[in-house]
Chain A
Amino acid sequence: MFLIRTVEQEIAALYMKNKIMSFVHFCVGQEAVAVGVCDALKNEDKVMGNHRSHGHYLAKGGDLKKLMCEILGKENGFAGGNGGSMHMIDKSVNFAGSTPILGSITPVACGAAFEQKYNNNGGISVGFIGDGASEEGVVYETLNLAALLKLPFLLVIENNLHAVNTRLHERRGENHNIEKIVAGFGVKYLRADGNDYQDVLAKAKTLVEDVRNGKGPAVLECITYRHMAHSAPIFDENYREEDVLEKRLEEDSLKKLRGQVAESGVSEEKLSTIEKELHGEVSGSIQFALDSMFPPKENLYKNLYV
């Protein structure tokens, strides 16, 4: 989580220096969701994400240098600069791809689960979407289809209370109840405190076990706070109601986890050393990316087809 936070902060710093010409959606504040869920998975399980997926990618073990190169548009990026921040992939760790068309990834991730069941290989697939994306019809079509086919599919809804800047109550009827909707499909639903790593981990483990044991798909909704604006490293406060600055700092998942780790007996010195090491790793990756080559012009025309 510290790694993801540091990565996001460093990317934000670069962004402000106009070094990044890739649309970036920061996940600062939401790290516990990515890490809590991915820590409940096995290596062979697959994860797919969305426009805000730096955290999901890193939590699944995605290569940091390739991420930095991709965001900076360099040839050494995982997509050679064709993708950028909204198209993350590292198949070597089964992060199977992220796309920014919101609900779209839901059936695609369900298709990853379809393959796992088709070939009976024991893995499960996870799709991460946001609360805005969860309002798109294909999400509900997919829940029904996955339930019908009893697919090993976990849908994680990261509810950061906003679709861009539009609040939940501006998008949903006052009696809207996602739990009842999901239950109506015969799909198991749990809600976690997305600002609390331990809670996300515990609930993800429960659902992952069911999904892996052939009980069909499940939904984990994590209520969390997006510290930054929708797609820029700024802290626009105008539209916020629940997640005001004071509350965000109080509920900060990273601060909470750090406290828990310290309480468990890890010394401040040890924590600082680890943080310093991680920071060094991030700085090194950024330097590697800055030093890397841009893709040559001819790459523009490559890879439209396999």
Chain B
Amino acid sequence: MSERIIKFTEAIKEATDQVMEKDASVFVVGLGVTYKNGADGTTGGLKEKYPGRVFDVPVSEAAFTGMAVGAAINGLHPIVHHGRVEFALFAADQIFTQASKWNYMFGGNNPVPIVFRIAVGRQWGNGPQHTQALYSLFGNTLGLKVVIPSTPRMAKGLLIAALQDKNPVVFLEPRWLYATKQDVPEKIYSVPLDKAHVVREGDAVTVVAYGDGLVASIEACEILGEDASGVELIDLVSLNPIDHETIARSVAKTGRIICIDTTNNAFNVGSEVISKVAQNTSIKLKNNPASLSCPNVPCPTSTALTEFYYPTKVDVANAILGLLGKSLIKKELSFEELHLAPSIVIK
């Protein structure tokens, strides 16, 4: 079969398009989603193809998100797009209190089929109020399903699965990955929303990562070459629920775990993962669990400072080597590698 290399953003658009074609209840709402390059290139052209089903809206996040929640409660299946998580917080009540609790508080049989597409995380020059990821905030909220696509193939499969689910799904898109490319099947396919994905198998160390941290981990394995042969790399995929079973199975085999977070250290995802591993009496760890994350300060704007903010592929590689008791490597990264979003082709 010939390869079909497409971008992360194209994979999202393709998933949206293919589901909209089959399911008339699906519509898209968000700021600028009707633009040619709408929603970072993920919705352009859809309004022309599906008139009356793609809505640019006033800058009123709480209202249009709440309206979509109401539409979902009454049988439609909206995709709500927020270009930055900070703006989604204007609609926090609707996401965290209304959509997430609706089915439980009415005793079941009250589905809220809705997808909240929210772009999160790093991007050069965006500073403290445009780069938050807030993974723990979403992961901590009961009643939401929360996924983070880490590659174009996952992005398409997860979005289709989210649109086939009857529950509110928060789709946290690491903006940093929008230009990454991958061979993506053209057909409609879905990926389970609640399962971690073993990206590569190994028996010496389990690396748990998600989003841009997963891509950094894939690149770290490339740097490590032969030294990566024992790495079992797990794409976490879902924050709610976390697939502790897959992680436990892996760590029981490797005896070592390292978690890669691309958000600050306090209350992060790695802490949750490591906590459950530590409590699992059937796992005998060979080393203390390790964790890489951002420091407990907001992400600044100047590249002179952001250079030290996110764990790089070299940091990940060295963390793996350190856990395996091997000597560390020294590798200078270029300005582009440090500060510009990757446009690599992921295998």
Contacts and interface: CB of A to CB of B under 8 A. Distances in A.
> Do chains A and B interact in one complex?
yes
Contacts of B323: none
A144 interface: yes
Given A104-B97, A138-B66, A89 B110 contact: yes
Interface stretch (B72-80, B130-138, B296-304): B72-80
Nearest to B166: A306
A305 B143 contact: yes
Given A82-B104, A145-B57, A306-B108, 4 more contacts: A99-B105, A106-B66, A141-B62, A148-B57
Interface residues of B, number: 40
A82 B106 CA distance: 6
A79 B52 CA distance: 35
Interface string A257-281: 0000000000000000000000000
B66 A111 contact: yes
B306 interface: no
A37 to B, nearest CB: 18
Contacts of B73: 96-97, 108, 111-112
Contact of A89 (B93, B97, B106, B143): B106
B103 A108 contact: no
B67 A302 contact: no
B213 interface: no
Contacts, number: 138
A109 interface: yes
30 contacts: A79-B105, A80-B108, A82-B105, A82-B106, A96-B74, A97-B106, A101-B98, A104-B94, A107-B62, A107-B63, A107-B69, A108-B66, A108-B67, A108-B70, A108-B98, A109-B70, A111-B74, A114-B70, A115-B70, A118-B52, A119-B75, A138-B63, A141-B58, A142-B63, A145-B64, A149-B55, A302-B108, A303-B104, A305-B103, A306-B103
A77 B70 contact: no
A87 B145 CA distance: 22
B142 interface: yes
Interface of A: 46, 48, 77-83, 87, 89, 96-97, 99, 101, 104, 106-116, 118-119, 137-138, 141-142, 144-145, 148-149, 302-306
Nearest to A107: B66
B142 A304 contact: yes
A87 B106 CA distance: 7
Contacts of B69: 107-108, 111
Given A115-B75, A145-B57, A305-B143, A79 B67 contact: no
A110 B108 contact: no
A114 B104 contact: no
B152 interface: no
Contacts of B65: 107
A232 to B, nearest CB: 22
B107 interface: yes
Contacts of B93: 101, 104, 138
A145 to B, nearest CB: 5
B104 A304 contact: yes
A110 B106 contact: no
Contacts of A141: 58, 60, 62-63
A64 to B, nearest CB: 17
B167 interface: yes
B27 interface: yes
B111 interface: yes
Nearest to A304: B104
B70 A101 contact: no
Given A108-B70, A110-B66, A111-B70, A303 B58 contact: no
A260 B66 CA distance: 41
Given A78-B106, A82-B106, A305-B167, A115 B63 contact: no
The listed residue with most B CB atoms (<10 A of its CB), out of A101, A137, A304, is: A304
A129 to B, nearest CB: 13
Interface in B76-118: 76, 93-94, 97-98, 102-111
B74 to A, nearest CB: 4
A144 B60 contact: yes
Contacts of B70: 48, 107-115
Nearest to A127: B70
B63 A304 contact: no
Contacts of A104: 66, 93-94, 97-98
A115 B76 contact: yes
A2 to B, nearest CB: 28
A110 B70 CA distance: 7
B72 A306 contact: no
